[in-house]
Copies of this chain bind each other. A is one copy, B any other.
Amino acid sequence: MKNILLVILCTLLFVSCKEEETEVTSAIKSDKDYTQFVNPFIGTSKMGHVFPGATAPFGMVQLSPQTNFEVMFDDENKYNPETYEYCAGYQYRDTTIIGFAHTNFSGTGHSDLGDFLVMPTTGKLILDPIKTKEGNKGFYSVFNHDKENASPGYYSVNLESYDILAELTASERVGFHQYTFPQSDSAHIILDMVYNVYHHDNKNVWTFIRVENDSTITGYRQTKGWARDKKIFFAAKFSKPFSSYGHKKYDKVKYDGFYRRFNQYENFPEMAGKDIRAYFNFKTNKGDKIKLKFALSSVSSAGAMANLEAEIPHWDFNQVKDETKHKWNSELSKIEVETIDEDQKTTFYTAMYHTNLSPIIYEDADGKYRGLDQNIHTSDGFTNYTIFSLWDTYRALHPLFNITQPDRNNDMIKSMLAHHDQSVHKMLPIWSHYANENWCMIGYHATSVIADAMAKNVGDFDYERALEASVNTASVRYFDGLGDYIDYQYVPDDKSHSSVSKTLEYAYNDWCIYQMAKQTENIKVAEQFKRRSTYYKNVYDTEIGFMRPKMSDGSFRENFDPMDTHGQGFIEGNAWNYGLYVPQNIDSMIIMMGGKERMTNQLDSLFSMEIDDKYIEKHEDITRDGIIGNYVHGNEPGHHIPYLYNWTGHPEKTQERVRMIMDTMYGPTVEGLCGNDDAGQMSAWYIFSSLGFYPVTPGSAEYSIGSPLVKEAKIHLSNGKNLKIIAKNQSRENVYVKSISVNGQMLRGNILTHSDIVDGGEIIFEMSSKPSTVIE
């Protein structure tokens, strides 16, 4: 079926080639190498939470160095608050690497994963990654950024402690290691099954390794981390037979009983336990390359082995590196931009890169995957994905996918519907990864992703089924204050924390369901959810002019600080920011809040006020790095706010602010992300804003105009059409939009529709240094 579609697609592409041959050709295979503009180190300092390692676009294997492990625990082995910086296992300031793990989140605000840490060493075998209590050195290596390189699909570093050059690449399901050793009679490759991102020894449930022969190993790990019941399997092949091997077990309970008759720790091909570290020994000549292909599966080690054989049947490291680079270029070249300077291009393409790292493909080559019910399912008519950080990504990442990755977004929605079907709650994912729901954050924003795709006519998923799944999700009374929300028409603050945030987001999500119901002509559901979509009004306190926590007796909460991010009825935001969250009805919100002028003033204050240090978090998401005045860009609840001026009659202020945010909150350096990239949401904001528009209300087909950063962009759409965006008179100073034409027609107002984008053609922004309240 897929093949037939491909033929049809190719035919369509070929037909359109006749008109615009050059663009379409570059959509399929760009002559230009856009991977050169990606710097995977951007955001690896401080709170970006991204990783520099090797991965294919949306690949399950995300193989990346793990640094300075010891910071995660203090001397008393207690959780160190600095740990939060290590969501993706890597901090640029660090000087030691403990190995390369095969799974990593990109940019998330909480962590897990770090599966199957591999580390090559030489000399005396050391099995502790970090300095031991007795003061012995761990197996970590010192490294230097001068001898570290990263590009899409490739990472290399010189492990100075051992004089080993480590190189990594990856296909979707297989990590490919290449280690160039010095001469050594005692070379080792360690497989650390203990290491987890965040916790080095208390997430493991069980681990298992089999040495199938002198160069093949298989096994699995089960963890109880953020995913409570996560199972991940592997199959791996070494290019050179190991001469001997063994493991150390750290479990308190030993299983030596009936094993006492053999030495189960050396050259015994089965290893099992809660916490084990295995090693494989080699003798190497100087320059010997030992390669390791390491495949993953959620199903079984047999599945992992089949993935390995399907994706990388050979030993040509450079071939895989080149193929993956090519895959990246295909993704990156979907939007070809010209910018004012090279730095902007680097920032732009690195953002593009970051929007292609999750959700990840989560099925074996044969379509089998582990479902939320822990049973094995087969994807039928779609590719299954996981890692849905939906509270973040519904805002701009999934809307961006509706332009750059409509097929994948369709598959992601089908994956969400499968999740619903497998859910014992009959709920769509909230924040899910690896066959688990971790329930992180609030709302049920899968409804937004679905409604947005429906509004934009993306995908071929079943609309009726999607509506039913959404209604089911919105009806689970025990979920997070939802029963109270339904009964009280707001979430009472004495019954749930973050009561205002929940009320606002439920109301928005319900509007999304209302949109779906309209589209499927389900009048009853439409009426019900239209009503629910207005509940935001019930938590607005006209007396103080802020959204405010309301008690179950109908009174507003007494003690209330609209500046404070904690315990004020909001989550990861304060009333100033989060209180402006009514994307489904911005006009009504503005009227409710006192009209356009008052809102303009409020937004001006938000962006300019000085805030006290006490409201700043040291280690979490609201840091000085991500703040302009009291506006927080480093976290999501305010991402639409700069665009709100468009509704108050001051588009020029939107234009000014979005350019300012792009200039100050993003950049081409390791500190180039002002907060968690949040699985691509922060980067997706940048891409949209760079192009001059933003999806303020996912679930509608409209985009709000900002101020393009690019000089020119060509978007190669999967329907074979192409959109050219031109910003005439673009410069650092000319941040204001004087006029816009769409295919020669002057645009009235400050809204673009999805068809303006995907029908292709040309949008011309006339830029100016002079602000104007009207786009002509």
Interface residues of A (CB under 8 A from B): 202, 205-206, 208, 210-212, 218, 220, 222, 224, 226, 228-229, 253, 255, 257-259, 261-263, 267-270, 272-274, 300-302, 373-376, 424-425, 431, 438-440, 478-481, 496-497
Contacts of A261 in B (CB 8 A): 439, 479-481, 496-497
A253–B224 touching, CB < 8 Å: yes
A220 to B206, CA, bound (A): 15
Q: List 29 A-B contacts (CB under 8 A).
A: A205-B206, A205-B274, A206-B224, A206-B229, A208-B229, A210-B424, A211-B424, A212-B424, A218-B373, A224-B253, A224-B273, A228-B273, A229-B272, A258-B431, A258-B438, A258-B439, A259-B439, A261-B439, A261-B480, A261-B481, A261-B496, A262-B479, A267-B478, A269-B424, A270-B424, A270-B425, A300-B375, A302-B373, A302-B375
**A210 to B218 CA separation, bound complex (whole angstroms):** 30
A373 to B302, CA, bound (A): 9
- Tell me the bound Cα distance from A211 to B425 in angstroms: 9
Closest to A206 in B: B205
Distance, CA A253 to CA B203, complexed state (A): 10
Beta-carbon contact of A301 and B255 below 8 Å? no
When chains A and B are docked, how far (Å) is the Cα of A439 from the Cα of B497?
Answer: 54
Choose among B262, B374, B425, B440 the residue that contacts A220 (Cβ–Cβ < 8 A): B374
Nearest to A301 among chain B residues (CB) is B375
Chain B residues within 8 Å of A440, by CB? 258
With A and B bound together, what is the CA distance between A270 and B372 in angstroms? 11
Please state if B375 and A262 are interface contacts (CB–CB under 8 Å): no
Contacts of A439 in B (CB 8 A): 258-259, 261
Bound together, the chains give a CA A206 to CA B226 distance in angstroms of: 15
Cα A267 to Cα B480 with chains together (Å) = 14
B-side contacts of A226, CB under 8 Å: 257-258
Q: Are B206 and A374 in contact (CB under 8 A)?
A: no
Contact of B255 with A228 in the complex, beta carbons under 8 Å? yes
Cα A132 to Cα B391 with chains together (Å): 44
Do A224 and B255 touch across chains, with their CB atoms under 8 A apart? yes
**What 6 A-B pairs have minimum CB-CB distances, sorted nearest first?**
A258-B439, A302-B375, A261-B480, A269-B424, A210-B424, A300-B375
Complex alpha-carbon distance, A162 and B376, angstroms: 41
Shortest distance in angstroms between A568's beta carbon and chain B's nearest beta carbon? Answer: 17
A374 and B205: CB pair below 8 A? no
Nearest B residue to A430 via CB reads: B258
| Residue with the highest number of chain B CB atoms closer than 10 Å, among A212, A261, A269, A425 | A261
Measured between alpha carbons, how far is A300 from B425 in the docked complex, in Å?
20
Least Cβ–Cβ distance between A478 and chain B, in angstroms? 6
CB-based contact B375/A480 at 8 Å:
no
| Separation of A205 and B206 alpha carbons in the complex (Å) | 7
A138 to B206 CA separation, bound complex (whole angstroms): 31
A376-B478 Cα distance, complex, nearest whole Å: 36
Point out the residue from B212, B272, B425 that lies within 8 Å of A228, measured CB to CB: B272
* Residues of the B chain whose Cβ atoms lie less than 8 Å from the Cβ of A253: 202, 224
Q: Closest chain B residue to A204 by CB distance? A: B205
In whole angstroms, what is the CA distance A692 to B136 when docked? 70
Residues on B with beta carbons closer than 8 Å to the beta carbon of A479 = 261-262
> Assuming A205-B274, A261-B481, A261-B496, what are 15 further A-B pairs, CB within 8 angstroms?
A205-B205, A205-B206, A206-B224, A208-B374, A210-B373, A210-B424, A224-B274, A226-B258, A258-B439, A261-B439, A261-B497, A263-B478, A300-B374, A300-B375, A300-B376
> Nearest-CB distance from A621 to chain B (Å)?
16
Structural contact, B301 and A374, CB atoms closer than 8 A: yes
User: In the complex, A496 Cα to B478 Cα: how many Å?
Assistant: 61
CB distance from A760 to the nearest CB of B (A): 43
Contact B302 A480 (CB under 8 A): no
| Shortest Cβ gap from A206 to chain B (Å) | 5
Judge whether B220 and A268 touch: CB under 8 Å: no
Residue numbers in B under 8 Å from A300 (CB-CB):
374-376
Give the residues in chain B near A268, CB-CB below 8 Å: 478
Alpha-carbon distance A370/B424, docked complex (angstroms): 25
With both beta carbons as reference points, the residue of chain B lying nearest to A199 in the complex is identified as B253
Q: How far is the CA of A147 from the CA of B374 in the complex (A)?
A: 41
**Residue from A257, A374, A480 having most chain B Cβ neighbours under 10 A:** A374
- CB nearest to A258 among chain B residues: B439
Q: Across the interface, do B375 and A425 meet the contact criterion of CB distance under 8 Å?
A: no
Contact residues in B for A228 (Cβ distance below 8 Å) = 255, 272-273
Instruction: Give the docked Cα–Cα distance between A48 and B374 (Å).
Output: 39
A211 to B426, CA, bound (A): 12
Query: Across the interface, which residues of B come within 8 angstroms of A263, CB to CB?
Result: 478
Chain B residues lying within 8 Å of A438, measured Cβ to Cβ, are: 258
Residue on B nearest A253 in the bound complex, by CB = B202
* A634-B296 Cα distance, complex, nearest whole Å: 50
Instruction: Determine the chain B residues whose CB is within 8 A of the CB of A202 once the complex forms.
Output: 253
Q: How far is the CA of A226 from the CA of B255 in the complex (A)?
A: 8
- A255 vs B202: C-alpha distance in the bound complex, in angstroms? 12
Q: Which residues of B contact A212 (CB under 8 A)?
A: 424
- In the complex the two chains form, what is the Cα distance from A301 to B422 in whole Å? 12
Q: Provide the bound-state CA to CA distance between A269 and B427, in Å.
A: 12
Taking CB atoms, residues of chain B closer than 8 Å to A220 are 374
Q: A270 — which chain B residues lie within 8 A by C-beta?
A: 424-425
A211 cross-chain contacts in B, Cβ below 8 A: 424
Nearest B residue (CB) for A203: B253
CB distance from A220 to the nearest CB of B (A): 7
- CB neighbours (8 Å) of A267 from chain B are 478
Determine the distance from Cα of A373 to Cα of B300 in the docked complex, in whole angstroms: 10
- Give the distance in Å from the alpha carbon of A259 to the alpha carbon of B273 in the complex: 28
B residues in contact with A478, CB < 8 Å: 262-263, 267-268
Q: Shortest distance in angstroms between A495's beta carbon and chain B's nearest beta carbon? A: 11
Nearest Cβ on chain B to A56's Cβ, whole angstroms? 26
Point out the residues of chain B lying under 8 angstroms from A210, CB to CB.
373, 424
A224 to B276 CA separation, bound complex (whole angstroms): 14
Closest beta carbon of chain B to A264's beta carbon, Å: 9
Q: What chain B residues lie within 8 Å of A257 (beta carbons)?
A: 226
When chains A and B are docked, how far (Å) is the Cα of A202 from the Cα of B211?
28
A500 → chain B, closest Cβ, in Å? 15
- In the complex, what distance in Å separates the CA atom of A274 from the CA atom of B272? 17
Q: In whole angstroms, how far apart are the Cα atoms of A259 and B227 in the complex?
A: 12
Shortest CB distance A49–B (Å): 18
Q: How many Å from the CB of A430 to the closest CB on chain B?
A: 9
Task: Give CA–CA (A479, B374) in the complex, Å.
Answer: 36
Across the interface, A480 reaches (CB within 8 A) one of B222, B224, B262, namely B262
Q: When the two chains form their complex, are residues A206 and B206 in contact, meaning their CB atoms are under 8 A apart?
A: yes
Contact A269 B425 (CB under 8 A): yes
Q: How far is the CA of A205 from the CA of B255 in the complex (A)?
A: 14
Most buried by B among A273, A274, A439: A439
A376 to B375, CA, bound (A): 12
